[in-house]
Structure 1
C-alpha cells in the first residue's frame, strides 16, 4: 500500500498518510521505528505494510523511485 505523508509530529513520532485514493491512514512510532527512520516530512511518498488481522500499520518505509538514468 502506498501513499503520501500528510502530517508527522516529531514529538510523538506519529502521523497520517493519505493513500492514493485519498483515505487517511494513521501510523505510530512502532511502525515508523520498524522502518529504521527518525522523521518524515509532509509530501514524502511511503509504503506501508498492514497487519492483516487488525488492519493497522505495522511498517512504514520510504518509497524510492527507480533511477531514470539506469
Structure 2
C-alpha cells in the first residue's frame, strides 16, 4: 500500500503517514526499522505494509515503512 509521510520523530523513530484517501495512520520504531530507513521527511512517498488487528482501537497496524520506488 502507498502513503505519504506526514510526521517523523528521529529520536523515537516513529511517526505517521497519510493514506491516499487522507486517512492518517501511525507507525512505531519497529515498523520504521523493518524498512531499513535512516531518515524520513514529510512529503516523501512511502510503501507500507499493514496487519489487521482484531479488537484494537485502530484496526490496522503498520508493520513496515520503506521508500516507494518506481
Aligned-residue CA RMSD in angstroms?
0.9
Number of residue pairs the alignment of both structures matches:
64
Stretches of structure 2 lacking an aligned partner (at least 5 in a row)? 54-59
Superposed, 1:1-70 pairs within 5 Å as 1-52=1-52, 54=53, 55-65=60-70
Structure whose alpha-carbon radius of gyration is higher: 1
- TM-score after normalising by structure 1: 0.85
Secondary structure of the equivalent of 2:37?
coil
- TM-score after normalising by structure 2: 0.85
Stretches of structure 1 lacking an aligned partner (at least 5 in a row)? 66-70
Alpha-carbon distance in 2 for matches of 1:42, 1:35: 16
